[in-house]
Amino acid sequence: MQNVDFCCTFFNYMETEAQDTQATAFLHIPVLRRELIEGLNIHPGGHYLDATVGGGGHSRLILATAPDIRVTAIDRDGAAINAAKETLAGYESRIQFWQGNFADYQPGDVLFEGIIADLGVSSAQLDIAERGFSFRHGANLDMRMDQRQSLTAAEVINRWEEKQLADAFYKYGEERLSRQIARRIVEQRPFQTTNELAEAIAHSVPRKYRYGRIHPATRVFQALRIVVNQELSSLETFLNKAPNWLKPNARIGIISFHSLEDRIVKHTLRESELLRVLTKKPIIAQENELNENPRSRSAKLRFAERVSL
């Protein structure tokens, strides 16, 4: 892979302390960065789509490989777009931003030499208390990736029927105790904050589950986030559209972080008539990356290539 030595300088930059703002909070270390850049098979002069730009880490790696590469960068989150603009200062002439759901993106007549997506909630979104993604911080139940949308986690928790909640917790959180958790929530609502909800969930499960490896609210919060942002349906739509945006022999690389996402990625890439899967098994982080970036532990990267017409 050409021009990979530039990575060291960028990695040092990404690891500096972030300031306490939403934009700088997105300046995290991009996961599976070496594997993604090598597998994407970047060509000088190419035009690439970063469908989840986040803080701009992966896009910067792509842009740095050659002076004539262009990137179109998408994200739902306005704070992420602002952070990416900071990270990619100096590349303004070669990058175009679009805020919105990647499932709604329309490239027109443009065909890309490669497409990447780093799925799910970002570390920054979890760490910014007021976004309401995590019960580690007390905050309003929000969980919107795109702050322009109306549906919030509070509306789901306080207005959905018990069966709807139970089904969502089971389907999107793989929560075995979904029924009793939903029953407790309906009995005690309304809830306004993440802490209130997490405490109610903890007290709705048997005592032995309260002190396990993960907090009893973890799966419910995952399910809520997926529901609020329609993550899985958006992913399916995007993966069905994206092969049509690729030039022949161009590649698509998708990083997922939980089994529900990975299952969709695996099967949709494999079933596409326009793609040839390049990774029988997902690429995972090696020990050195696991040591420097614990978030990479659950990351899985899959590649496919657009077949020639």
Non-local (6+) Cβ contacts of 99 within 8 A are 74, 75, 76, 77, 78, 81, 146
Residue 128's pLDDT is 81
Describe the strand order of the beta sheet including 95-99 as a list of residue ranges. 95-99, 70-75, 47-50, 112-118, 246-256, 300-306, 275-277
Residue written as token pair 């992966």? 58
Q: In the predicted model, what is the mean pLDDT of residues 26-48?
A: 90
Q: Hey, which bits of 46-177 come out as E strands?
A: 47-50, 70-75, 95-99, 112-118
> What pLDDT sits at residue 122?
79
C-beta atoms surrounding 90 within 10 Å:
9
- The C-alpha angle 251, 76, 286, rounded to 5 degrees, equals 50
**What distance in Å separates the CA atoms of residue 70 and residue 67, rounded to the nearest whole number?**
9
Annotated binding site: 56-58, 75, 102, 118, 125
Structural domains of the chain in order of their starting residue, each with its CATH number? 33-118+232-306 (3.40.50.150), 129-229 (1.10.150.170)
Q: Give the residue with greater pLDDT, 105 vs 293.
A: 105
Binding residues for S-adenosyl-L-methionine are: 56-58, 75, 102, 118, 125
Answer with the residue of higher pLDDT: 28 or 242: 242
Is the pLDDT at 28 greater than 70? The verdict is no
Q: Is the pLDDT of residue 129 over 50?
A: yes
Contact 85, 79 (CB under 8 A): no
Mean pLDDT, the chain, as a whole number? 90
In angstroms, how far is CA 43 from the centroid of its own chain?
Answer: 25
User: For 134-192, what is each residue's pLDDT tens digit?
Assistant: 998 889 999 999 999 999 999 999 999 999 999 999 999 999 999 999 999 999 999 99
